[in-house]
Amino acid sequence: MTDTPDATPLSLRFAGISDVGRVRKDNQDSGYAGPWVLTVCDGVGGAARGDIASSTAVQQLRKLDVRPTDDLLALVAGAVHRAHDRIGELVEEDPALNGTSTTLTVALFDGSRVALGHIGDSRAYLHRNGTLTQLTKDHTFVQSLIDEGRITEEESRFHPHRNLILKAVDGIHEAEPDLFFVDLAPGDRLFLCSDGACGVLDDDRMSDILGSGTPDYAAVEMVRASLEAGSSDNVTCVVADVVEGELEEPLEPLLLGAAAELPRRNRGGVAHMFRGHRSGDTGEMEPVPDEVPYAITTDPIDPEVARYAPRAPRRFVWLKRLAALAIVAGLVWVGAAAAYSWSQDQYYVSEHDGNVTIFRGVDANLPGVTLHHPYEESSIELDNLSNYDAGQVRQGIEANSLEDARRTVDNLAANRESSSADTTTATDSGA
């Protein structure tokens, strides 16, 4: 749909719900629904605190919830990068969060269309005239297999690596979201969800649910259907109807899941079906008990923990440490070899076996290492030198090069001959 001055403005009538699910003790999902922004983020599970990543992203994205006046795609891209930067800051402040990440799907509405930003495997759909269209494309390993024609969409739901995603917002790797526009028309229904819903429900089932009822009913029914279909993950759903004109009663924005930061209510006794879902939980399923069943605790791989990384497992740690030591030893050896090579280009003049000798190397030693050796021995005996010259030779006379050392020896020889001549003259004069 193209914007025109006479076009009737559209509005969003929205609802959202997030449920911790049957298995997980914590909700790693976060969501937000407002007049101008819809978003769902799914954080990584485990010790890296995916709830912090997803809620941090939502807190940045919800700042877009004002009537946009600038380039929508630029606004969405900027918000995604701010979420990336903020998560990076949190990791720097607390290294224990290293490895945390979140998927991200956000829709920014301007009264006629939405600008979508997407990273990971949360999804956005458009339900129009009874037909459901997936708007986003998963950044997952199984999606790459689907694109290559190696598996079907149905087979991907049961693939052993269906939980592995290739892109997420982690504060480390530069966030590069898919960005695009979707034109809207009255009667359209937007649906955003985490993979706890779309990972277990096929398009026909989702289309059937989205084809009737209010947004509130559709969101709740989608969560219920996902859990009944066997979803073991958190489930978050946001539904928004596109309607003509402004709403008579503006809706209050909704924070969902981890971003709501509200304590889960006590679900003991009879559950009140669908009460309180605006605070982040349907309340329809009992949470996992504090003592997790043996079958769960002994499961060697938690798909939610493994899902956002493809970070390699810690294998062959001893081999890596040995390789690191070998590299350090190699660098030390290279440095020592370079120092020894330099020393062998140095020369000095000293005494060897009573004669003036040119030595190669430096006038020093290290434990177990000799850094010099006689190179050229002259016929000049130390006893024939003056006391001063002899003392200088015994201490060692530095030279800039081999030629410089030879000139020093020649000078000592000349001094010896001069001293001998002076002695002879003095003797003759005395006679």
Q: Which of 28-32, 94-98, 371-375 has the highest mean pLDDT?
A: 28-32
Rounded Cα gap, residues 56 and 90, in angstroms: 9
282: DSSP letter: -
Query: For the chain, how big is the Rg over CA atoms in Å?
Result: 40
Rounded Cα gap, residues 156 and 139, in angstroms: 13
pLDDT of residue 51 exceeding 70, the answer is yes
E-strand ranges in 223-312 read: 235-244, 254-257
Q: Looking at the chain, how many residues does it have?
A: 431
C-beta separation of 344 from 361 below 8 A: yes
Mean pLDDT across the chain = 82
C-beta separation of 195 from 140 below 8 A: no
pLDDT band at 271; cut points 50, 70, 90 = very low
Q: What pLDDT score was predicted for residue 224?
A: 97
What are the φ/ψ torsions at residue 278 (nearest 5 degrees)?
-70, -15
Q: Which domains does the chain have, with CATH numbers?
A: 10-313 (3.60.40.10), 344-430 (no CATH)
The better pLDDT of the pair 269, 322 is held by 322
pLDDT band at 420; cut points 50, 70, 90 = low
Chain centre distance of CA 249:
43
pLDDT in tens, 201-247: 999 999 999 999 999 999 999 999 999 999 989 999 999 999 999 99
pLDDT band at 59; cut points 50, 70, 90 = very high
pLDDT in tens, 151-200: 887 777 777 777 788 999 999 988 899 999 999 999 999 999 999 999 99
Q: What percent of the chain has pLDDT over 90?
A: 50
pLDDT of residue 311 exceeding 50, the answer is no
Mean pLDDT, range 63-70, rounded to an integer: 93
pLDDT in tens, 319-369: 777 888 888 888 888 877 787 788 788 999 999 889 999 999 888 777 777
C-beta separation of 37 from 109 below 8 A: yes
Rounded Cα gap, residues 57 and 186, in angstroms: 30
The better pLDDT of the pair 421, 193 is held by 193
pLDDT of residue 2 exceeding 70, the answer is no
pLDDT of residue 310 exceeding 60, the answer is no
pLDDT band at 279; cut points 50, 70, 90 = very low
Q: What pLDDT score was predicted for residue 162?
A: 72
Q: What pLDDT score was predicted for residue 388?
A: 87
Q: Is 293 exposed, middle or buried (0-12, 13-18, 19+ CB in 10 A)?
A: exposed
Residues of 81-112 as b/e, b for ≥16 C-beta within 10 angstroms?
bbbbebbbebbeeeeebebbbbbbbbbbbbbb
Q: What pLDDT score was predicted for residue 269?
A: 32
Rounded Cα gap, residues 37 and 338, in angstroms: 64
Q: What pLDDT score was predicted for residue 422?
A: 58
Nearest to 81 by CA among 162, 4, 169: 169
Mean pLDDT, range 101-108, rounded to an integer: 97
Full DSSP string of 116-143: EEEESS-EEEEEETTEEEE-S---BHHH
pLDDT band at 273; cut points 50, 70, 90 = very low
Is 289 in a helix, a strand, or coil?
coil
Q: What pLDDT score was predicted for residue 33?
A: 98
Q: What pLDDT score was predicted for residue 264?
A: 40
Rounded Cα gap, residues 238 and 18, in angstroms: 9
Chain centre distance of CA 231:
28
pLDDT band at 272; cut points 50, 70, 90 = very low
pLDDT of residue 118 exceeding 80, the answer is yes
C-alpha to C-alpha distances, 416 to 353, 378, 391, nearest whole angstrom: 18, 13, 14
